[in-house]
Amino acid sequence: MSERTEADIRRTKLASMLSARFLRTGSVVIALVAAYWLCWRFAEVDLGRLIDGLPRLWSWTLRAWPPDFSDLGTLLERAAETLAMATLGTTLGGIIAVPVCFLAAANTAPNRLIYGLARVSLNALRGIDSFVFALLFVAAVGLGPFAGVLGIGVHSAGSIAKLWSEAVETAADGPLEAAMLSGASKSKVFVFALLPDVLPSLVSTLLYVWEFNVRASTVLGIVGAGGIGQELKNNIDLLAFPRVLAILLVILAMVTIIDRSSAWLRGRLS
């Protein structure tokens, strides 16, 4: 009788556990379905409009061939403008990030208050896209690639400093402790122990952000920040599809070369 009672208790517990697990799983599924339903409504997804628009898109694709490279020099000049924007913007972001990253790293921040403020500042810079910053700087300094440089620089500072601070926090403790035990000052510990350990990671991160900014800066021309994005927008507005295709091919070639170059450099650093 006792054995049957224990078996019944075990079966009851097992049934209760399975019921609770089923209830949790069902709740998660219902929550996901509800979330996607809300996203579908807010995004105003309309498959009928897509079906109606596909023939138009196909006709534009046919009209885009062959690409119009009649003024290739201008396209290359605009591509160089875009590359210059990304390079100078990333450099500006790195300069801003140098002091901030050490304030945002738990093992180098002077105190918790400064650490918290630095983290909040980085989240603000990262949370606002370079596109938005470029739009603001266009209003402040006027049209042209300089606004793009400033927009990329301010946004990139947040991303670079965040990644750099994480690299600083994961630095090996051994060299730092050895330097401190030898009586070295904080500045010497930083220069001779911490910096050599994290420098390859910092440079690799900077290259990665530069690679990303080259791709991102191709669309900054839409808000008047210059570069090849400006040329792309102008020709889309004119429905000059052979010219649009030529611009897209130039962008593709530029981004591919930058991606390969950055990956090679990062590989050399690892």
Give the C-alpha separation, 145 to 86, whole Å. 10
Nearest to 133 by CA among 101, 103, 98, 157: 157
Residue 71 has pLDDT above 60, yes or no: yes
Q: What is the pLDDT of residue 157?
A: 87
Instruction: Over range 88-114, report the average pLDDT.
Output: 83
Instruction: Over range 153-158, report the average pLDDT.
Output: 88
Question: Considering the chain, what percentage of its residues have pLDDT values greater than 70?
Answer: 80
Q: Which residue has the tokens 């910092």?
A: 202
Cβ 96 vs Cβ 153: under 8 Å: yes
- Using DSSP, state whether 44 is helix, strand or coil: coil
Residue 190 has pLDDT above 60, yes or no: no
Contacts of 65 (CB under 8 A, 6+ apart): 242, 245
Residue 233 has pLDDT above 60, yes or no: yes
Residue 1 pLDDT grade (very low, low, confident, very high; cuts 50, 70, 90)? very low
φ, ψ of residue 224 in degrees (nearest 5): 90, 20
Residue 2 has pLDDT above 60, yes or no: no
**9 vs 2, 15, 21, 197, CA distance in Å?**
11, 10, 18, 59
Higher local confidence (pLDDT), 259 or 37? 37
Instruction: Over range 239-244, report the average pLDDT.
Output: 84
**18 vs 21, 22, 24, 26, CA distance in Å?**
5, 6, 10, 12
Q: What is the pLDDT of residue 20?
A: 67
The top-scoring range by mean pLDDT among 12-26, 108-122, 167-181 is 108-122
Q: What is the pLDDT of residue 126?
A: 83
Q: What is the pLDDT of residue 8?
A: 57
**Which region holds residue 240: left if phi is over 0, alpha if psi is between -120 and 50, else beta?**
beta
Instruction: Over range 97-106, report the average pLDDT.
Output: 81
Evaluate the CA torsion angle 118, 123, 124, 126 in order and state its sign.
positive
Instruction: Over range 135-157, report the average pLDDT.
Output: 85
Tokens of 44: 């105003």
Give the C-alpha separation, 79 to 247, whole Å. 9
Nearest to 115 by CA among 125, 106, 126, 124: 106
Q: What is the pLDDT of residue 45?
A: 80
Instruction: Over range 202-226, report the average pLDDT.
Output: 80
Instruction: Over range 92-100, report the average pLDDT.
Output: 86
Nearest to 257 by CA among 35, 14, 110, 86: 86
Q: What is the pLDDT of residue 269?
A: 64
Instruction: Over range 179-198, report the average pLDDT.
Output: 55
191: DSSP letter: I
Q: What is the pLDDT of residue 123?
A: 84
Q: What is the pLDDT of residue 16?
A: 64
Cα 161 from chain centroid?
A: 13
